[in-house]
Structure 1
Amino acid sequence: MDSCNYKLYHVDGFDSRQSLETYFSDKEGMVFHEDSLIFPIENLTKTFTKGHIKGDVLIDLSFGSMVHHLFAACDFFKNIIVLKFSDRCIMELKRWVDERTGAFDWQHAAKLHVDIKESSEQTHERENKVRSALQHVVKFNPEEENMMDPIVLPPADCIVTFCMIEFISKDKDDFIRYLKKFSRLLNPGGHIIFLGSLEGTHATVGKDKIRFLNYDEDFARKALVDAGFVIDNCEVKKRTLVSDLTDYKAMIFIAAHKDTV
């Protein structure tokens, strides 16, 4: 398929449930387990348990309807606010929050946050703790001055963005512009945790190929610095899985704080 036929995540929409089944499930043959589940969960858990990233409000701006990356955050933040582009993503996420029939099953991800010897009841407690913290799922438009208009959010102590900015940026200038815009949601000295996929061009969801921006580690670091952040930690995991569904070369995790100078 020619790149001009790729769909745009925030313009054309996509099947949010299909993206969960393809990239985040525990079904047999799901080859993205290490990159999409273990890598973010391990790094987020390690980062939060150091104890210096915590507070009242965490804002999540991430791709689709995924929630597994927030399981570590609920121990360190009282309130988690999730921002989504589409009603479809909001509906899918709220189905899980409200424990409705047909909700995507995240139990396999919750198990990664509890000791292997703990019981299934404790795993369920982990999910409920996230549900309790995650009471606000808000639609937003990153092109508006107040992205959540007419809602005004409280300033956040931390922002987590997972494979979002590369999907909405048409070029590298856009990438930096969105980082600066997201930075305005933070308290002075607040933290950002950035997760993304390096050196790729698209991800397949069902019959559609969704385009994303091609960038490397050096650019990701530079973009955060240009947006006013100081990088505290960076981890890169090279891709080892084999799949023609997407063409990224590595996953990246960056923890940074907002420069107050």
Structure 2
Amino acid sequence: MEPRSHKLYHLHGFHSRNLLDTYCSSKAEMPFTYEAFMYPMEKFHNAFSSGDFRGDVLIDFSIGPQIQHLYAAQEHFRDIILLKPTEHCILEVKKWTDSRTGAFDWSHTTTLATELAGKSDQSEEKEIRLRAAIKHVVKFDLNQENLTGSIGLPQADCLVFWNILEAISKDLKEFVRNFRKFSKLLKPGGRIMHYGALNCTFYMVGGEKFHFFKYNESDFRSMLSNEGFVITHLEVSQRKAESDLMDFDSVMFCTAYKE
């Protein structure tokens, strides 16, 4: 099957709970423990703890209803805003932020977050604080000049990307164009964090194959440079997962600021 015939996250959507059960659960057979939790959560924690990432507003663009990388963010930002392309994903996030019955159980990631912070006895408090910090979960539409339509958003001190550009972009041209749209929400001098899977063409959700734009470290470095960003940290880690659900070969964590 050609990449262009794969489904696209923002156009076709998927069942958000299927994504979480497949890539984010605490089940022993979940193959992506390193790529979904251990590696990225440590990197985000270290970056937020550095003191370089702080301010009033953080805007997060992540595939699906993932929140595990944001535990450290709530210590350094007053308001966290999540932008999602589908209503189903928004509802799944709000189930958790509103502590509704049937919400996804993120307690395994809360435990990891508190261990990283050296506060393993404060898991419940950390969840409560993150729920309080997530002020809005808003739908975005790539076809609109203003991504959020009539909903005005404040300029962000920091933008966070987690495998979203790859999931909504068919090719490098769209990848750059979508990044440019998102980065308009960043204040001058603001910072970004990016976590993504490299050299990946698809991921599976609920037995269906979804498109993932294949890019490498060089592509990403060139885009940031061309868009006026200065990289402050970039590292690549080789894949540890054994699974046919995704075909990436490594993951990348990067931080940068807008000149």
TM-score range, shorter chain: over 0.9
Between the two proteins, the alignment pairs up a number of residues equal to: 258
Residue 118 (structure 1) shift: 4.9
In the TM superposition, what whole-angstrom CA distance separates every residue of 1:2-60 from its partner, at most 9, and x where no partner exists?
A: 54542111111111110001001111200100011111100011011110110000000
Structure-2 residue corresponding to 1:21: 21
Does residue 131 of structure 2 align to residue 131 of structure 1? Answer: yes
Report the Cα distance in structure 2 between the residues aligned to 1:155 and 1:94, rounded to whole angstroms. Answer: 23
Q: Is the 8 A contact 1:177 1:227 kept in 2?
A: no
Q: Is the 8 A contact 1:96 1:103 kept in 2?
A: yes
Residue 226 (structure 1) shift: 1.6
Report the Cα distance in structure 2 between the residues aligned to 1:195 and 1:148, rounded to whole angstroms. Answer: 23
Moved more, 150-159 or 221-230: 221-230
Does residue 103 of structure 2 align to residue 103 of structure 1? Answer: yes
In the TM superposition, what whole-angstrom CA distance separates every residue of 1:205-224 from its partner, at most 9, and x where no partner exists?
A: 01111111000111111111
Q: Which amino acid aligns with 2:10?
A: H
Structure-2 residue corresponding to 1:51: 51
Report the Cα distance in structure 2 between the residues aligned to 1:2 and 1:48, rounded to whole angstroms. Answer: 39
Structure-1 residue corresponding to 2:233: 233
Report the Cα distance in structure 2 between the residues aligned to 1:238 and 1:143, rounded to whole angstroms. Answer: 35
Report the Cα distance in structure 2 between the residues aligned to 1:247 and 1:118, rounded to whole angstroms. Answer: 36
Structure-2 residue corresponding to 1:179: 179
Does residue 190 of structure 2 align to residue 190 of structure 1? Answer: yes
Structure-2 residue corresponding to 1:166: 166
Per the normalisation by structure 2, the TM-score is 0.96
Q: Aligned runs of 1:1-261 on 2, under 5 Å?
A: 1-115=1-115, 118=119, 122-259=122-259
Structure 1 residue ranges (4+ consecutive) displaced by more than 2 angstroms after TM superposition:
1-5, 115-120
Distance change (3 Å), C-alpha of 1:2 and 1:149 = closer
Aligned to 1:148, the other structure's residue is in SS state coil
Q: Is the 8 A contact 1:82 1:137 kept in 2?
A: yes
Per the normalisation by structure 1, the TM-score is 0.96
In the TM superposition, what whole-angstrom CA distance separates every residue of 1:228-258 from its partner, at most 9, and x where no partner exists?
A: 2110000111002210111000011110001
Report the Cα distance in structure 1 between the residues aligned to 2:56 and 2:193, rounded to whole angstroms. Answer: 16
Q: Is the 8 A contact 1:24 1:32 kept in 2?
A: yes
Aligned to 1:112, the other structure's residue is in SS state helix
Distance change (3 Å), C-alpha of 1:119 and 1:209 = same
Q: Is the 8 A contact 1:179 1:224 kept in 2?
A: no
Report the Cα distance in structure 1 between the residues aligned to 2:102 and 2:96, rounded to whole angstroms. Answer: 8
Q: Which amino acid aligns with 1:93?
A: V
Q: Which amino acid aligns with 1:253?
A: F
Report the Cα distance in structure 1 between the residues aligned to 2:166 and 2:5, rounded to whole angstroms. Answer: 17
Aligned to 2:113, the other structure's residue is in SS state coil
Residue 177 (structure 1) shift: 1.0
| Percent of residue pairs bearing the same amino acid type | 44
Cα RMSD between the aligned structures?
1.3
In the TM superposition, what whole-angstrom CA distance separates every residue of 1:142-201 from its partner, at most 9, and x where no partner exists?
A: 231110010110100000010000111111011111111111101110001111100010
Residue 119 (structure 1) shift: 5.4
Q: Which amino acid aligns with 2:159?
A: I
